[in-house]
Amino acid sequence: MKKATLKTISDESGFSITTVSRALAGYADVNERTRQLIIDIADRLGYQPNLTARHLRSKHTNTLGMVIPLTAYYSDQFFMTLLSGVGQQAARFGYDLLLSAQMRGEEEISAYRRMVDGSRVDGMVLARVRQRDARLDYLKGSARPYVVFGHADEDDYPYIDVDGKTGIRQMVHHFAAYGHRRIALIAAPDDLAFAPLRLAGYWAALDDLGLPRDPRLVVTGDLSADSGAAAVTQLLGQPDPPTAILACNDQMALGAMAAITARGLRVGDDVAVAGFDDIPAAANASPPLTTIRQPIFEIGQSLAQTLIGLIRGEAVHDLHVLLDPELVIRASSGKPRAG
């Protein structure tokens, strides 16, 4: 049995393809009896419109696109959680999600081109935006709607972000309130848009507190747990080592904790640790990780909702959303110290 098309139903019912199409689409200019007849036949034949054909003609696909990085990120809970939020909200509005896992570089941009210029999606979600981001430049030049998770200071495009600068600043104050004076930062790669913002929050806090800016207390990692561990080795290996370490994401913080424990030190007591993101594993870590919460799932939902609004041409009021950071204090940052 071949797949039923409008033509099949047309032949079967004696009405034209036009009328069949309009009957099923609910137009008013078809007789109710005719419509019922056509619907019955369609049901009987198990008719399902060929969406590819529909998309070609009608210029929209009810699909959101997202390209996720392939490099070693498969363990990245961040993207997975974000994806869940986007997918959940997209489904509520009847949208599907087209995903492409790509390595960074040439392949990545061509995945964007396939989706956008190839007319496969109605809009794009861009996560973890970078400085001078080629993907962003591309999207700006295209006519498709898009939304971004993250922002750089001066940027003008629809985004949602957590105020990382303030978050880091507050966390450094938290460490200081617990009596720490040598507070280290495991920074993020320069090319990420959030990296300079978080670094600025760190410097600002030191200035607030009248603490010196010591470049040896800043080590840059690559967001992986391993790089967090390597940073600890470097930080604790030098004279006058830090007593508190703040990592720019949880993955690195967890790596740092492992390395500290491996050195025979106790996280929280000997060295305080905090992260950024509040991924699920943060609460389950031992000791549980103090962190700056990003409501990633909710951000995903919000991104999808904004994007769909843009696609539908609705008046979207909040194109630039900067969420307040929320400090989640757990055991890894220790207790207030004497002295």
Question: Which residues lie near a copy of itself (CB under 8 A)?
Answer: 3, 46, 48-53, 55-56, 61, 63, 68, 70, 73-75, 77, 80-81, 83-85, 87-88, 90-91, 96-102, 111, 113-114, 117-120, 254, 280-281, 284-287, 297
Nearer to a copy of itself, 31 or 286 (CB): 286
| Total count of residues recorded for the chain | 339
Closest CA to 153 of 196, 187, 203, 208: 196
Q: Of a copy of itself, DNA, none, which one does residue 331 interact with (CB within 5 to 8 Å by kind)? A: none
Q: Cα–Cα distance between 109 and 138 in angstroms, integer?
A: 8
Nearest distance in Å: CB 92, DNA: 22
Is residue 7 part of the contact set for DNA (CB under 7 A)?
yes
* Binding test (CB under 7 A) with DNA, winner from 21, 84, 220, 261: 21
The verdict on 30 binding DNA (CB under 7 A) reads yes
Choose which of 15, 73, 95, 194 interacts with DNA (CB under 7 A).
15
Options 11, 53, 207, 262; binder of DNA; rule CB under 7 A: 53
- In the numeric block, which tokens belong to residue 144? 């498709």
The listed partner (a copy of itself, DNA, none) that binds 70, CB under 5 to 8 Å by sort, is a copy of itself
The site partner of 34 among a copy of itself, DNA, none (C-beta below 5 to 8 Å per kind) is DNA
**Residue with tokens 């071949």, as numbered in its chain:** 2
Q: Taking the alpha carbons of 113, 119, 121, 123 in that order, is the dihedral positive or negative?
A: positive
- Choose the stretch contacting DNA; rule: CB under 7 A; options: 7-15, 175-183, 307-315, 320-328: 7-15
Backbone angles phi, psi at 320, to 5 degrees: -125, 105
Burial class (CB in 10 A: 0-12, 13-18, 19+), 58: exposed
Nearest distance from residue 122's CB to DNA, in Å? 15
The least distance separating a copy of itself from the CB of residue 299, rounded to whole angstroms, comes to 12
Is 82 or 197 the residue whose CB approaches a copy of itself more closely?
Answer: 82
Residue (114 or 293) nearer to DNA, CB: 114
Residue range at the interface with DNA (CB under 7 A); choices 51-59, 122-130, 223-231, 320-328: 51-59
> CA 120, CA 292: separation in Å to the nearest integer?
36
Distance CA 11, CA 3 (A): 14
Q: Please, what is the angle between helix 296-311 and helix 77-92, to 10°? A: 40
Q: What's the rounded Cα separation, in Å, for the pair 185 and 279?
A: 19
Do 219 and 189 form a contact (C-beta atoms < 8 A)? no
* Binding partner of 75, given DNA, a copy of itself, none, CB within 5-8 angstroms per partner class: a copy of itself
Q: DSSP string spanning 41-56?
A: HHHHHT----HHHHHH
The distance from CA 2 to its chain's CA centroid, rounded to whole angstroms, is 42
Find the shortest distance in angstroms from Cβ 108 to DNA. Answer: 22
- H/E stretch holding 209: helix 194-209
**Contact residues for DNA, defined by CB under 7 A:** 3, 5-7, 14-19, 21-22, 24-25, 29-32, 34, 47, 49-50, 53-54, 56-58
